[in-house]
C-alpha cells in the first residue's frame, strides 16, 4: 500500500467502526475503475474494446455477520447512505439508490447457487468520480463480488466476476451495459490495456508503453439527464439495425461486419438514423483493431489519430457526446504535444482521455482548463493515470 492508500484505508476502517461498533475481524478490499482507450459502444455489438483498469476505484471494509442482515454504508454518500437489508429479501422490486449495485451482485450470486450462508456488513469509499464514465458502478460491482468470493470462499474467477457484475447491472439496475466495464475492472493488469473481443470474450493484454507520454483524463463534470435511457436507446437502435441486416446477410452481431461489407449492405437498414448508429458500431470496431496494431508497432501517432476519429464518430454518428465534452476534445486537438483525445465511457457528459507528451502535460491542463472555463463556465478536473491491476485484498 502506498501512503495515500494507507491514509484512505485507515479512514475507511474508522468509518466502519463508527457505523458497525468496532473493527474486529474486518478485511480490506479494492476494485478499480477503468478508462477505455478506444472501442466505444462496441461491446454490446460483438465488437472489440481496449480499456485499462485504473489505480483509482472503490475500497471496501467488510466482515461476515452471524445473522442474515446485509448492512451497507458509503463514505461518499450523504446521511441516507446507510441501509440495512435481509439476505432473504433481495428481489429488486421496491429498491432504489446506490445500494442496488452491491445488492444486485449478492442477488446474482444467489441466482447462481452462491447465496452467502450469513449476512455481512460493508463500508465503502470510492476515490473515483461517480457518473463520469470511469465506471465507478462496475468497480462497485466487481468489488462486491470480490468481497463475497473472499468472505465466503466462492470459487469464481475474474471473468465470472465480470459476468456477474454485468448481469446484475443489466437485470437489477436496468442498465443494459455491455461487458467492457466489469471485464476491465475484474481483469485489469498493471501497465497493460485489455484488447477484448466481446463476441467470445477472448482477450489479450497489450503493454501500454507510452515512452515519454501519459494518459490524461479530463472530467467535464457534467452528467446530462437520460444517460441510462440514452444508452439503452442506442443499444435498441443497434439491435434493430442488425435485424434489418439479418434479412440480407447471415450475421449475428454488427461487430462481424467490416466497413466494406457494411457499405455494401447498409441499404437494408430502414432509416438514416439507424444507419448512422450501425455505421459507428462497425467503423469503431475496425478502428479498435487498427489501433492495437498501431500501438504494438509503437505508432502512438497513428493510435492518437484513431482516437480522434473515434470522437468524431461518437459525436456525429452515434450522438453520445455533448457540447461540454466536445469542447474538451476539440480544444485538446489544438494543443501541442497531444497525440489524440476522445470522449470515453458511455457519453452524455463525463470524461475525455488523451495521450499527452510528458513535457506538455502542465500546459495541456492549464490551456484546456482555461478554455473550458471560458466556453462553458465550468471547472474541469484532471487526472494523470497509469493502467492498474484488478481487484485485490489489501
Q: Which residues bind Mg ion (CB under 5 A)?
A: 135, 137
Nearer to Mg ion, 135 or 285 (CB): 135
Cα-flanking dihedrals φ and ψ of residue 341, to 5°? -155, 140
Cell readout for 287 is 478502428
**Helix runs in the chain, H state only:** 3-20, 100-111, 136-152, 158-171, 180-187, 227-246, 259-265, 272-296, 300-316, 323-332, 361-376
Quick one: what does residue 150 bind among ligand ADP, Mg ion, none, with the CB cut-off 5 to 8 Å set by partner type?
none
- Using alpha carbons, list the distances in angstroms from residue 184 to 158, 179, 373: 10, 9, 32
Question: How far apart, in Å, are the Cα atoms of 20 and each of 127, 193, 390?
Answer: 22, 38, 28
CB-CB contact of 270 with 248 (8 Å): no
| Count of other CB atoms within 10 angstroms of residue 383 | 19
Give the C-alpha separation, 256 to 249, whole Å.
11
Which lies closer to Mg ion via its Cβ, residue 75 or residue 184? 184
With binding defined as CB under 6 A, does residue 19 bind ligand ADP? no
Q: In sequence order, which residues have a C-beta less than 8 Å from that of residue 322 and are 6 or more positions away?
A: 220, 222, 224, 347, 348, 349
Nearer to Mg ion, 98 or 372 (CB): 98
Q: Where does this chain touch ligand ADP (CB under 6 A) — which range of 41-49, 123-131, 303-311, 322-330?
A: 123-131
Q: How far is the CB of 219 from ligand ADP (least distance, A)?
A: 11
Closest to Mg ion by CB, 42 or 137: 137
- Give, as ranges, the residues between 291 and 350 that touch ligand ADP (CB under 6 A): 345
CB of 177 to Mg ion, least distance (A): 7
The angle formed by the CA atoms of residues 89, 91 and 58, to the nearest 5 degrees, is: 95
For residue 371, state whether it binds ligand ADP (rule: CB under 6 A): no
The answer to whether residue 231 forms part of the interface with ligand ADP (CB under 6 A) is no
Based on the shown chain and the rule CB under 6 A, indicate whether residue 140 belongs to the binding site for ligand ADP: yes
Cell (9 digits) for 118: 450469513
Residue numbers 89-118 binding ligand ADP by CB under 6 A: 98, 101
Q: Are residues 263 and 249 in contact, defined by beta-carbon separation less than 8 angstroms?
A: no
Pick between residue 184 and residue 245 the one whose CB is nearest to ligand ADP. 184
Size, binding site for ligand ADP by CB under 6 A: 18
For ligand ADP, which residue has the nearest CB?
126
Q: Given the residues 4, 66, 181, 286, select the one marked as catalytic.
A: 181
- Minimal distance, residue 188 CB to Mg ion, in Å: 16
Strands 48-64 and 27-38: antiparallel
Let me know: does 141 contact 149? Beta carbons within 8 Å.
no
Residues 9, 36, 42, 137: which binds ligand ADP (CB under 6 A)?
137
Minimum CB separation from ligand ADP for residue 50, in Å?
A: 17
C-alpha cell at 31: 476494485
Nearest to 280 by CA among 243, 320, 222: 320
Residue 114 binds which one of Mg ion, ligand ADP, none, with CB within 5 to 8 A depending on kind? none
Instruction: Choose between 101 and 109: whose C-beta lies nearer to Mg ion.
Output: 101
Q: Which does 171 bind (CB under 5 to 8 A by kind): Mg ion, ligand ADP, none?
A: none
Our finding on whether 74 is near ligand ADP (CB under 6 A) is: yes
Indicate whether 220 belongs to the interface with ligand ADP (CB under 6 A).
Answer: no
Residue 316 catalytic?
Answer: no
The β-bridge partners of 49 are 196
Kindly state the DSSP code that residue 298 receives in the 8-state scheme: T
Q: Active-site residue numbers?
A: 181
**Footprint on this chain of ligand ADP (rule: CB under 6 A):** 58, 74, 76-77, 98, 101, 124, 126, 130-137, 140, 345
Amino acid at each position: 500500500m502506498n501512503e495515500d492508500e494507507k491514509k484512505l484505508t485507515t479512514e475507511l476502517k474508522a468509518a466502519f467502526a463508527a457505523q458497525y461498533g468496532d473493527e474486529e475481524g474486518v478485511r480490506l478490499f479494492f476494485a478499480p475503475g477503468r478508462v477505455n482507450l478506444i472501442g466505444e459502444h462496441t461491446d454490446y455489438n460483438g465488437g472489440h474494446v481496449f480499456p485499462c483498469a485504473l489505480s483509482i476505484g472503490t475500497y471496501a471494509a467488510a466482515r461476515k455477520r452471524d445473522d442474515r442482515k446485509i448492512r451497507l454504508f458509503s463514505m461518499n454518500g450523504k446521511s441516507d447512505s446507510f441501509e440495512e437489508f435481509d439476505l432473504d429479501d433481495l428481489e429488486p422490486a421496491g429498491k432504489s439508490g446506490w445500494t442496488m449495485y452491491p445488492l444486485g451482485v449478492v442477488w446474482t450470486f444467489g441466482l447462481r447457487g452462491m447465496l452467502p450462508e450469513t449476512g455481512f456488513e460493508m463500508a465503502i469509499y470510492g476515490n473515483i468520480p461517480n457518473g463520469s464514465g470511469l465506471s465507478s458502478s462496475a468497480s462497485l460491482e466487481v468489488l462486491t463480488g470480490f468481497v463475497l468470493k473472499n468472505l465466503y470462499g466462492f470459487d469464481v474467477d475474474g471473468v465470472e466476476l465480470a459476468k456477474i457484475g454485468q448481469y446484475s447491472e443489466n437485470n437489477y439496475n436496468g442498465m443494459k451495459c455491455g461487458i467492457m466495464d466489469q471485464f476491465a475492472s475484474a481483469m485489469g493488469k498493471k501497465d497493460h490495456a485489455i484488447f477484448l473481443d466481446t463476441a467470445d470474450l477472448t482477450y489479450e493484454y497489450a503493454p501500454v508503453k507510452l515512452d515519454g507520454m501519459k494518459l490524461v483524463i479530463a472530467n467535464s463534470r457534467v452528467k446530462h439527464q437520460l444517460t441510462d435511457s440514452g444508452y439503452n436507446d442506442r443499444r435498441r437502435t443497434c439491435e434493430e439495425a442488425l435485424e434489418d441486416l439479418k434479412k440480407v446477410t447471415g450475421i449475428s452481431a454488427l461487430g462481424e461486419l467490416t466497413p466494406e461489407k457494411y457499405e455494401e449492405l447498409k441499404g437494408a437498414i430502414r432509416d438514416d438514423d439507424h444507419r448512422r448508429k450501425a455505421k459507428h458500431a462497425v467503423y469503431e470496431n475496425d478502428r479498435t483493431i487498427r489501433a492495437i496494431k498501431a500501438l504494438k508497432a509503437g505508432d502512438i501517432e497513428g493510435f492518437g489519430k484513431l482516437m480522434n476519429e473515434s470522437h468524431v464518430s461518437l459525436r456525429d454518428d452515434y450522438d453520445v457526446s455533448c457540447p461540454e465534452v466536445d469542447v474538451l476534445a476539440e480544444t485538446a486537438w489544438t494543443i501541442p504535444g497531444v497525440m489524440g483525445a476522445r470522449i470515453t465511457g458511455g457519453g452524455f457528459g463525463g470524461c475525455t482521455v488523451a495521450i499527452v507528451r510528458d513535457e506538455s502535460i502542465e500546459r495541456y491542463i492549464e490551456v484546456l482548463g482555461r478554455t473550458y472555463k471560458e466556453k462553458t463556465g465550468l471547472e474541469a478536473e484532471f487526472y494523470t493515470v497509469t493502467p492498474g491491476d484488478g481487484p485485490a485484498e489489501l
